[in-house]
Amino acid sequence: MTVRAVERPADLRGWFGDHVEELRAFVPVDGESLDDRVARGAAMLGFLHGAGVMGRGWPEAWGGAGGTAIDRALVYDLLVRSGLDLPESLAPLEVLGSALSAYAPELAATHVPRVLRGQELWCQGFSEPDAGSDLASLRTRAHRSAEGWVLTGQKVWTSLGHLADYCGVLARTGTTDERHRGLTLFWVDMRADGVGARPLQTLTGEDEFAEVFLDEVVVDDSCVIGEVGQGWAVAMHLLQYERGMWAWQRQAMLHQALEIAMAHDEMDEVPVDAIGHAFCVLSSVRARSARTIERLSRGEIVGPEVSIDKILLGRAEQAVNDVVRLALGRDFATSDAAAAERARGAWFYSRAASIYGGAVEVQLDLVAQRVIGLPRGTR
């Protein structure tokens, strides 16, 4: 496949300054549904890609402009500074895109450019009804047949699962006793026969995640990400980005949320130390995440210490959204205005920040046992 060459602005910051007017078309609107938000994000990516902005930090072979995670991080900063949000498809791109790049270059060459152009959305099918924190106990099975791999099982809480085009499905190719050694990551077309997705409404009121059903879904060998049985290693590789780059995207958005709250009338009522606290935690996660991204950019493997980024992010999410809540005063609980609805949604979602991607307790276990060297053992 050939990727159309786009002309890239040499001065990225300058480009954002020069295109304020055009970018305004993509600023979030009040009362927008999730579907509309996803569509707006896709349109935004289309525009940015056409202008040669999107793709920095992705290899040229997959439609990118070369460079590293730092270049991506800069784009995220600049987008948010321009008053935009980050398109929904960028989170799964960071999480799965890096795994595809490292373990399935052909899939990356096909699918990464599509996300960068706003033409594709992915989801991550890891958790199952009986396998959340204990991911290694998952039961979705994949076995070989004449036609290829056949996947059967159920995923749950799959973010954007009902809207996505493709899903990274972690499935068991070995026995249950093998735990994490018997897993493989597959690339599954959500329109394939046997795939079903049922949206689940979240506490925020939105259908943000879904149940995904896999009933004898057939995929061929080209859809194996990494080697068969290597799924856990791929998942661990991916977690560096899930915990590292996701934190970066979110801290940018949280700066914006805090800035918006600062303009609110009732901000006077909010204790200044609560505001200072939120900003302090937020700054810590930014500083920490910047270090992680530098390391990823140098090609270093970021080990279990990335759990520290994840823990700090959860705290920052909650501290910032607590301030936003205080800034709204009574309206937070009682108003039907779009601003209140948005703030409530964000506040509820921030409570999940210490759950998704591995609950904070699990992260603390990892820090205790794999960073400071405490013995594994009793709970």
299 contact choice in ligand FAD, another protein, none (CB below 5 to 8 Å, kind-dependent): none
284 binds another protein (CB under 8 A): yes
Q: Round to whole Å and give the CA distance between 171 and 352.
A: 25
Site string for another protein, 27-46 (x = CB under 8 A): --------------------
Q: Which is nearer to another protein, 83 or 194 (CB)?
A: 83
* Alpha carbon 277 to chain centroid, angstroms: 25
Q: Which is nearer to another protein, 195 or 293 (CB)?
A: 293
Express the helix, strand and coil content of the chain in percent, nearest 5 each.
55, 15, 30
Q: Round to whole Å and give the CA distance between 334 and 30.
A: 17
78: enclosing H helix or E strand: helix 69-81
358 contact choice in ligand FAD, another protein, none (CB below 5 to 8 Å, kind-dependent): ligand FAD
Residue tagged 């068969």 (tokens): 228
Site string for another protein, 253-282 (x = CB under 8 A): --xx-xx--xx---xx--xxxxxxx-xxx-
Q: Which is nearer to ligand FAD, 157 or 279 (CB)?
A: 157
Q: Which is nearer to another protein, 283 or 334 (CB)?
A: 283
Taking residue 181's Cβ as centre, other Cβ atoms within 10 Å add up to 14
Token digits of residue 31 = 């009362």
Token digits of residue 338 = 């779009």
Q: Which is nearer to ligand FAD, 113 or 132 (CB)?
A: 132
- Which residues bind to ligand FAD, rule: CB under 6 A? 123-127, 132-133, 157-159, 209, 352, 355-359, 361-362, 365
290 binds another protein (CB under 8 A): yes
133 contact choice in ligand FAD, another protein, none (CB below 5 to 8 Å, kind-dependent): ligand FAD
Q: Specify the amino acid at residue 309.
A: D
Q: Which is nearer to another protein, 71 or 211 (CB)?
A: 71
29: enclosing H helix or E strand: none
Give the interface segment with another protein, choosing from 30-38, 112-120, 127-135, 252-260 (CB under 8 A): 252-260
Residue 148's region, left for phi above 0, alpha for psi from -120 to 50, else beta, is left
Residue tagged 């496949």 (tokens): 1
375 binds another protein (CB under 8 A): yes
3 binds another protein (CB under 8 A): no
Fill in the DSSP letter of residue 128.
Answer: B
Q: Specify the amino acid at residue 92.
A: P
51 binds another protein (CB under 8 A): no
